[in-house]
Amino acid sequence: MIYEPIDTTIEKLGEATIPSPAGYEYYTKDSAVVLYKAIFDNPEEVNDYHAAKPTFFEQAGPREKIYFDPQWVTAGIVTCGGLSPGINDVVRAVFMELHYRYKVERVLGFKYGYEGLTRKHGHKPILLTHEIVSDIHNDGGSILSSSRGGQDPAEIVDFLIENGIKILFTIGGDGTLKGTRAIHDEIKKRGKKISVIGIPKTIDNDINMIQKTFGFSTAFSKALEAIKCAHVEATGAPNGIGMVKLMGRHSGFITVNAALASKEVNFVLIPEQDFDLEGEGAFLPILKQRILKRKHALIIVAEGAGQKFFENNDMTDASGNKKLGDIGVFLKAKINEYFRKENIAINLKYIDPSYMIRSVPANAEDSVFCGFLAQNAVHAGMAGKTNMVVGIWNNVFTHVPIDVAVAKRKVLDPKASYLWRAVLSSTGQPNSMIARE
């Protein structure tokens, strides 16, 4: 197999010549890199990889020389898209690093996502202070609030210039990063020196070339509460079925990790693994076998699973994402209908905890992780990096070009993933639930 090298070059506004005021004892060099591929199937694959020029990520961290003179810097922070545990932790950590390490006096928070970066919506920026941000990590949601949908990049850049912004930190997922790239392109077209740095926020954990996004750990940990309740309901009645729908439009990472943590789940349905409802070897007949044998079953399904059953749905949301058919409500109806036809009485309880999961405060692991992401974002911005997102790869924090991060969705591969293999072992469900001819 011949590997195509990936361009992971990080764009810079210019040469960094100003000694950093951050006062760290150790600084990261731009030459410090993180190898993209660390696991190979055989020695020949190693040779092919190195022959094709290996892909490296630039390592994140504070630089000894920075681009911006802190006394002239006004920084901005905006949070976009859906809520996620840890947003306030990130906002707080960005402010703290800018203010106390780099001595940046003026940090503005923009309200309601990209709407807050245009004059026409009338949302006034907030001058962030220690008193405002000191305790916000204890709360869920975003102190800056959020919104979906894009705005005109030209209007946004006008607003950034009007407010004297030198570094803009955008906290969001795939759609937010595409918006960040559009803002960067407009800035570059005008020849302005404004850095734009993305901080990855999506509990789905589906951003390309980034090992983990903040909020993910809290999300699947919180999901366990709903799964435990569903298990109690399933085992508390004859032929009980508990079903929980979890978030995950394109990727089943939350669902899979929640199942592995629970140890009680019998069926896991994710977007990456196709399944049929009826016919030999399909989901409903296998569920019937489980009910007849064990008298209860616990199902968790990702919101993006089974979307082939809604093929005529062409609606999109404000961010341009395709609106998903409600697989939870659909499956609830299909399961009840199937067992009625089979003349088997069941007790089905359906739980959708999605908005409870994404609106809670970050757990301890995510809170620490948010701090690392935010601090490294500040280091990158002050050093004059731009058009990039802070990530983590092989457990080392990295700089990832936005073009690479949004090139495709990160998904779980059921044929090769150790996670899916572990799910099959934990649940006992078949490798495939596609109806046989």
CB 210 within 8 A of CB 400: yes
CB 190 within 8 A of CB 157: yes
Q: Is 176 helix (H, G, I), strand (E, B) or coil?
A: helix
Spatial distance between the Cα atoms of 338 and 252, rounded to a whole number of angstroms: 26
CB 244 within 8 A of CB 353: yes
Spatial distance between the Cα atoms of 5 and 399, rounded to a whole number of angstroms: 16
* Token couple for 34: 């993180």
For 93-113, letters b (16+ CB in 10 Å) and e give bbbbbbbebbebebbbbbbbb
Q: Is 293 helix (H, G, I), strand (E, B) or coil?
A: helix
For the chain, the residue count is 437
Question: DSSP secondary-structure letter at 63?
Answer: -
* Token couple for 74: 């006004």
Residue 91 to residues 111, 156, 184, 426, Cα–Cα distance (Å): 12, 20, 21, 38
Place of tokens 């591969």: 413
Report CA 280 to chain centroid distance, whole Å: 37
Place of tokens 């490296």: 56
CB 410 within 8 A of CB 206: yes
Phi, psi of 213 (to 5 degrees): -110, 155
User: Which is nearest to 218 in space by CA: 348, 330, 356?
Assistant: 356
Q: Return the active site residues.
A: 204
CB 124 within 8 A of CB 116: no
